[in-house]
Amino acid sequence: MASEQRLVRLWKMKRRHTRRHDMRSLLARWLVRTCWLAVYIAPILFADIEVRFRSSTFDKPSRMAALERIGVHIQAMTFKTSHDRETFLPPILDPITGTEQTFIYTPRRCQLGGSSPRYGSRQMTELLVKQYPPLFHTSTNIPSFVQALTRMSRLQHLRISCEGQVPSHRYRRSVVDYALISLRIAIEQAPLKDLHTLSLLSVHPGAVLYLRPAPGFGASPASRKRWSQIRKLTVQMSSFGHEPGQPTDHLKLLHAYLGSFPSLQRLVFHWEGERSLSPLSLAIEPSLNSTAKGKPTQACPQRCALPLRPLKFQHLQQMELVNATMDASQVASFIHEHRSSLREFNFENVVLRSGNWDDALAPLTRLSGSERWKQGRRDTDTVNVPIVLSPAGVSQKQLQKAICALQQQKGPRTLRSLAKAGSRTRELLWGSPDHMKRLLRSSMLSWR
């Protein structure tokens, strides 16, 4: 009897051991398959990510550990920080006298020691710690931004979105602005050698003040080096109504910011809201002339005395401008200045204050040697402008003679092929309605 009980216990122990072994085997196989799957899925899942800026976005160790693992797969990132109650910063008040204190922000590029005041003086640091939310202190932690972007070494496309600013807060600094300063400095310090595309989506007019590389907050002599990599720039900015006599600082800051990208090949600018001035022609904008009508347009006339330098993009191939107001002469001047590189341009919802579109696009007639681009006109507001130049300056008559000479040397079958080729070549070189449609989709130079 005792031997039978021992046999039962032995059988149960063996059964439990077998189950454990099977479970371990299954678990091991599952882990192997999961790791194998992660190797192939991770580059797809984390190629494009979205980061909503919060107080623990770049400060939480677990998130930084996760970013350490997936950062190598990130090629595009959207950085979102909206204007809301959490980002609003009230005035800094002295707790004893109740007077408003002035805070002059100096970005700290490196981590400070425990005894060093973070915001200049100990008194100001104590006031900010007590009166400002944790999100503000996170936005000024530049080393955490640098650490995060350093992990995204293969980043190619950066999108920045900071929507929601109300017009009454346009002259107030918020947490969003401090976050943009830290983000800009981190972009300049991190090894982002593959970064070539920048998209500013629904940004407020003051954003360019904090994103401008030099001179700016925390800028260094090497700040412009990173931005010279940018070849594609998209800006969607909330419009800032401008009337004669009103301040023009936001327009001048925008002009200076666009001039910080010497390697641009594609530029898209879109005013959101009401129509505003063209940022591409501010240097010749009459309303920015401080001496107009003998009255300065700003409170500091000495700053307005210096004229703006016209924007010149040596490598610009594509340009798009949406929801703007400009003169025909400004359009013509921009096309003429970029005639050596510009292949395609698009004016959408653009209104001319003076002149007409024939005057604005007059450089096209000089470049093409004819007015064939006018054949694409459909109405007074929309025009298709295909420009196709004959190769090496060959004229239509010379091309026809060459085709005829080849036909005389070939047989009947080849003659039919050459006839088709000749018809196709003439269509490509001199244009047809169908060719115009294809050209506008693909192609060399378009306007609508």
What is the structure's pLDDT at 334?
92
- Same domain for 36 and 160: no
Domain's final residue, options 383, 410, 434:
383
Q: Give the residue with greater pLDDT, 395 vs 260.
A: 260
Q: Which of 107-116, 188-197, 405-414 has the lowest mean pLDDT?
A: 405-414
Number of compact structural domains in the chain: 2
- The one-character DSSP state at 158 is E
Question: Are 92 and 40 within one domain?
Answer: no
Task: Extract the tokens encoding 44.
Answer: 């797809």
208 and 352 within one domain: yes
C-alpha triplet 358, 364, 368: angle, nearest 5°: 135
Q: Is the pLDDT of residue 441 over 60?
A: no
Are 16 and 142 found together in one domain?
no
pLDDT at 443: 36
Confidence check: pLDDT of 298 > 50: no
Using DSSP's 3-state secondary structure scheme, residue 286 falls into helix
Looking at residue 157, its pLDDT comes to 97
**Does residue 353 share a domain with residue 371?**
yes
Give yes or no for a contact between 240 and 271, defined as CB atoms under 8 angstroms apart: no
Q: Could you tell me the two tokens for 32?
A: 């192997």
Q: Which has the minimum average pLDDT: 97-111, 152-166, 204-218, 290-304?
A: 290-304
235 located within any domain: yes
Residues 23 and 150 in one domain: no
Are 194 and 253 in a shared domain? yes
Is 427 within a domain?
no
Q: Give the pLDDT confidence of 82-96 residue by residue, as tens digits.
A: 999 999 999 999 988
Instruction: Return the residue matching tokens 């060719």.
Output: 435
Both 26 and 149 in one domain: the answer is: no
Instruction: Compute the average pLDDT of residues 296-319.
Output: 72
Q: What's the whole-number mean pLDDT along residues 168-197?
A: 93
Residue 298 forms part of a structural domain: no
Question: Is a pLDDT exceeding 70 seen at residue 437?
Answer: no
Residues 182 and 310 in one domain: yes
| Cα 161 from chain centroid (whole Å) | 10
Residue 438 lies in a domain: no
Instruction: Mark whether 1 and 137 lie in a shared domain.
Output: no
Domain assignment present for residue 407? The answer is no
Residue 436 DSSP one-character state = H
In a shared domain, residues 110 and 83: yes
Average pLDDT estimate for 92-110: 88
The answer to whether the beta carbons of residues 213 and 187 sit under 8 Å apart is no
- In Å, what is the CA distance from 302 to each residue of 141, 275, 309, 441? 36, 29, 17, 47
- pLDDT at position 32 is 53
Calculate the CA 147 to chain-centre distance.
Answer: 22
Domain that holds residue 131: 46-287+303-383
> Does residue 342 belong to any structural domain of this protein?
yes
Asked if residues 350 and 356 have their Cβ atoms less than 8 Å apart, the reply is no
pLDDT digits (tens, 9 = 90+) for 60-82: 888 899 899 889 999 999 999 99
On the question of pLDDT at 290 being above 70, the answer is no
Q: Higher-confidence residue: 206 or 289?
A: 206
Say whether pLDDT at 332 is over 60: yes
Give the pLDDT of residue 99: 92
**Which of 11-25, 152-166, 221-235, 400-414 has the highest average model confidence (pLDDT)?**
152-166
DSSP helix/strand/coil, 298: coil
Q: Closest Cα to residue 138, out of 90, 81, 85, 84?
A: 81
Range 106-111 average pLDDT: 78
173 and 239 co-located in one domain: yes
Residue 383 has φ and ψ, to the nearest 5°, of: -135, 135
Question: For residue range 227-277, what is the model confidence (pLDDT) as tens digits?
Answer: 999 999 999 999 876 666 677 788 889 999 999 999 999 999 999 988 999
Is 313 a residue whose pLDDT tops 90?
A: yes
End-to-end Cα spacing for the chain: 99
Among 368, 383, 398, residue at a domain's last position: 383
Distances (CA, A) of 94 to 125, 128, 135, 136: 12, 11, 21, 19
In the predicted structure, residue 409 carries a pLDDT above the cut 90: no
The reply to whether 270 falls in a domain is yes
Whole-number mean pLDDT of the chain? Answer: 77
Domain presence at residue 414: no
Instruction: Specify the higher pLDDT residue, 213 or 385.
Output: 213
